[in-house]
Amino acid sequence: MDKHYVGSEIGQLRSVMLHRPNLSLKRLTPSNCQELLFDDVLSVERAGEEHDIFANTLRGQGVEVLLLTDLLTQTLDVSDAKAWLLDTQISDYRLGPAFASDIRGWLADMPHRELARRLSGGLTYGEIPTYIQNMVVDTHEVTDFIMKPLPNHLFTRDTSCWIYNGVSINPMAKAARQRETNNLRAIYRWHPLFTDGNFIKYYGDDNINYDHATLEGGDVLVIGRGAVLIGLSERTTPQGVEFLAESLFKHQQATRVIALELPKHRSCMHLDTVMTHIDIDTFSVYPEVVRKDAQCWTLTPDGHGGIKRHQEPNLLHAIEQALGIDQVKLITTGGDAFEAEREQWNDANNVLTVRPGVVIGYERNIWTNEKYDKAGIKVLPIPGDELGRGRGGARCMSCPLERDGI
Ligand SMILES: NC(=[NH2+])NCCC[C@H](N)C(=O)O
């Protein structure tokens, strides 16, 4: 990775961060998977193989693949980072000071790769050494979690997202994902790849309670030419968008933010589950959700550090204006109404563009893939029967760190 810059959604992709999940998926059971935002339990082996195919497909396109567990392991080699992560993830107020301090002491002696695995995979009461004794231990079952697993680290797109020359380290909406942000904060602060400080941290890196001002990267499309399209979804609030837009304008990284209102339900929890950018003038959309009459605003700097808001008659018009193109082309989810609904649910629209007109998507979405093909969009297919049960596709399983503009 040469520089920290994501200039668009579709320009040549150069470097991405992925997470190959393992321990966290072993902890997913029918009784906890809903709370952990998965619709089912997965075959862990097979999910890993599918993920390897995804990573190798990217490498085959000349994209550098960095794995979250590697980055976290290397971050733990920095003693300040390790101390901060242990304090943050194993807090006194969560476990009580005596027990928390014993657990931190035990974890601190682990090899860093093993500790990194735990920071995403979680820790149960049954896994700690018997010399650690406490009332907290006595009152828990061996299968209870001291640190809950973070299986949604798989969706690296959401926890942090790069926009032009900076990153937003996102305050997550759902309790099951909030601790992911700490792992990313540590990486961006201490990992040698990022210590040059040659990038902006727009939002989310302060020790405060962000309350309702949440934001997730699946809602953020860096459509290029100084514009950013953001979904107001189940996860990303107008409050979160206001903070991000203010910061983007202050750092002169964007000249406009288009905000689009989405229905608040799980099948379209993020904008990228219903809309992605796949070529300069072409978007993939699920038309039931991305309706031409959806409420939409353009935000621009008001010249005094604030934001000017303009209600748009129409999303497509707003995009055409922002990109300076005549007409946006839409490729809609394939098949009849039943097939389209099923394929949207399995992330047919959630494809990852590698360069203009070339995308990675699940092979199972045959109807939509056929439409991409007919429209001249090349699909690099990957299997996703297991990975897809977490409700995410290639776009949200990747966090671009370096990508060309358009
Ligand atoms: N950008 C996305 N589409 N992310 C999908 C995230 C899925 C994940 N299980 C969640 O509920 O958070």
Contact 205, 169 (CB under 8 A): yes
Residue minimizing CA distance to atom 11 of ligand 1: 37
Provide the greatest CA pair distance for the chain: 70
Asked whether the beta carbons of 16 and 44 are under 8 A apart, the reply is no
Do the Cβ atoms of 276 and 349 come closer than 8 Å?
A: yes
For the segment 128-175, what is each residue's pLDDT rounded down to a tens digit?
999 999 999 999 999 999 999 999 999 999 999 999 999 999 999 999
CA of 181 to the centre of ligand 1 (A): 14
Q: Using one digit for the tens of pLDDT, what is the confidence trace for 62-89? A: 999 999 999 999 999 999 999 999 999 9
**Residue 209: burial class (beta carbons within 10 Å; 0-12, 13-18, 19+):** exposed
The pocket around ligand 1, CB under 6 angstroms, is made up of 37-38, 152, 155, 157-158, 177, 218, 269-270, 272-273, 350, 390-392, 396
Contact in structure between 366 and 318 (CB atoms under 8 Å): no
* Span 205-239, pLDDT tens digits: 999 999 999 999 999 999 999 999 999 999 999 99
Cα separation of 309 and 296, whole Å?
A: 10
Instruction: Compute CA distances 356 → 123, 227, 377, 382, whole Å.
Output: 42, 17, 9, 19
Mutate to test the pocket of ligand 1, among 155, 351, 396 (most ligand atoms within 8 A of CB): 155
> So what's the pLDDT on residue 393?
98
pLDDT value at 272 more than 90: yes
ipTM of this predicted structure: 0.98
* Known catalytic residue at 399: no
pLDDT of residue 111: 98
